[in-house]
Chains A and B, each alone.
Chain A
Amino acid sequence: MLTFQCPYCGVQADETELHAGGEAHLTRHGPGSSDKDFEAYLFMRQNPKGVHFERWRHVNGCGKWFHAARCTMTLEVFGAYPAQTTEPPKRILDVITSKRPGWTWRELS
């Protein structure tokens, strides 16, 4: 069973305590953006085989949204971090690089 340590309350929460919120670090394109950007924001997801960054909510716990890095092929968790950021912290990136040398994801904006 998938478990994450909630970066806010410190609880080691399993997935029955959590709500999956989809891909993290999206730029919210809205009115005034190009059609392509708007479509991409609404529908185009990375859907990677391998390293992925996601939003999760500790719904049956402290109730807060956080971010986590995970492998979609093995369900291995690389770590969780608070949501108040536009990119993953170095600590998480280092863990991923040590476990999945050469990994890639989309460019963060």
Chain B
Amino acid sequence: MLLNGLAGFEPMKRYSAFAIAREALSGHKNWERAWRNAQPKRRYDVVIVGAGGHGLATAYYLGKNFGITNVAVIEKGWLGGGNTGRNTTIIRSNYLQDPSAAIYEKARALYETLSQDLNYNVMFSPRGVMMLAQTEHEVRGYQRTAHANALQGVETRFITPREVKEIVPIINLDGPRYPVLGALWQERAGTARHDAVAWGYARACSAMGMDIIQKCEVIGVRQEGGRVTGVQTTKGDIACEKLGIVVAGHSGDLAAMAGFRLPLESVPLQALVSEPIKPIMDCVVMANTVHGYMSQSDKGEMVIGGGTDGYNAYTQRGSFHHIEETVRALIETFPMVSRLKMLRQWGGIVDVTGDRSPILSKTPLEGCFINAGWGTGGFKAIPGSGWGFAELMARGHSPLCEEFSMWRFGEGKFIDESLAAGVAH
């Protein structure tokens, strides 16, 4: 067996029922590492900054769809330790605008077969996502979305309060402040295991010979004559032909290193989970008017999230009164929540754009590309974003990314998703 860090690599052994039996014979002590812990080479064809879901998926599709495997993914912490490992894992594609529907639906569809594709169980669970309409305004908004989705070929439906109650018996429909007037229901939406998505892509990238370099922070971007030539890192300089910046809340920072500015701001977004309880809710429910949403994890914990903090911060913590508001809001709609003990709370730093849509774009620096602005809702988009962004980096254009240019704000070509993304998810 080759040792970690050698130039060569051996193809990974496949995971299977047979493999479990085989490894059981040696007490599960000899499972091989899921990915090599690589040290940087001096140059690569492509360097991706950020080993979150979007960075890793980009690397994976660069290899799989375009045969580009001389790739490094550089991560300042540990892979999946950013927002990818902190999110509440809602996957849906019921957005309003056509470009959003295209990329989110591409992602949702790829999620359906991702476990087989990666040979890694990402636990995609199409359990259904319900977005409650609790004001007249929301009813009209979601009906409009349902019509738009029908035209886009995304299967969603506006359902009545009675149907809501049938699907979610623990819900209180009557208010008093915010009665449930209906809901936008996407049956094929759901959740997946966040860490597994990052790990599955990482393992597949490593198997293609790519280097995933952890604990290595990018501290500068090198350029010559308007073209990117590499990055400076805490493990030395690394040269590259093309650079992909995929660092979520730190996008402003990396853009500054590359010499341009981005129309986005970084704010904390929090989530919390309760003690584990018996199964009570088998879909995801979002209540955007009161800024709260909830699902139940496989372990039985209620997973709860709310809105972002109102001001810029990089603390990965968030303010306490915000989660208090979230829980207080949910109690009216789910009275049983008031009896739950909360176990853990955490935060991530999300990068929010003016139109609540992402940026997948070339940049003023030639050879440098940016994938950012996923804000509160990019987990669901990981496979589609990686697919499109890899195409953009390999070919210089991609139909999926076309409308998400960083220059759209100056041109007034917004992709307004303020209703669809009104609350964090």
Contacts and interface: CB of A to CB of B under 8 A. Distances in A.
Partners in one complex: yes
A28 interface: no
Contact of B409 (A15, A22, A42): A42
Contacts of B262: 44, 47
A73 interface: yes
Given A36-B410, A74-B315, A43 B253 contact: no
A1 B309 CA distance: 12
B252 to A, nearest CB: 4
Contacts of A44: 261-263
A52 B313 CA distance: 10
B314 A72 contact: yes
A16 interface: yes
A19 B410 contact: no
Interface string B329-363: 00000000000000000000000011000000000
Given A43-B263, A44-B263, A47-B265, A54 B409 contact: no
Given A35-B410, A43-B263, A73 B320 contact: no
Given A43-B263, A47-B266, A72 B313 contact: yes
Interface string B182-208: 000000000000000000000000000
B321 interface: yes
B352 to A, nearest CB: 10
Contacts of A45: 263-265, 312
Given A35-B410, A39-B409, A42-B354, A47 B319 contact: no
B321 A49 contact: no
A69 to B, nearest CB: 13
Given A39-B410, A47-B265, A72 B312 contact: yes
Given A47-B312, A54-B311, A15 B319 contact: yes
B49 to A, nearest CB: 16
B396 interface: no
Contacts of B253: 49
A20 interface: yes
Contact of B319 (A1, A22, A36, A42): A1
Given A42-B354, A72-B313, 13 more contacts: A2-B319, A39-B263, A42-B409, A43-B354, A44-B261, A45-B265, A47-B266, A48-B252, A72-B266, A72-B315, A73-B315, A75-B313, A75-B315
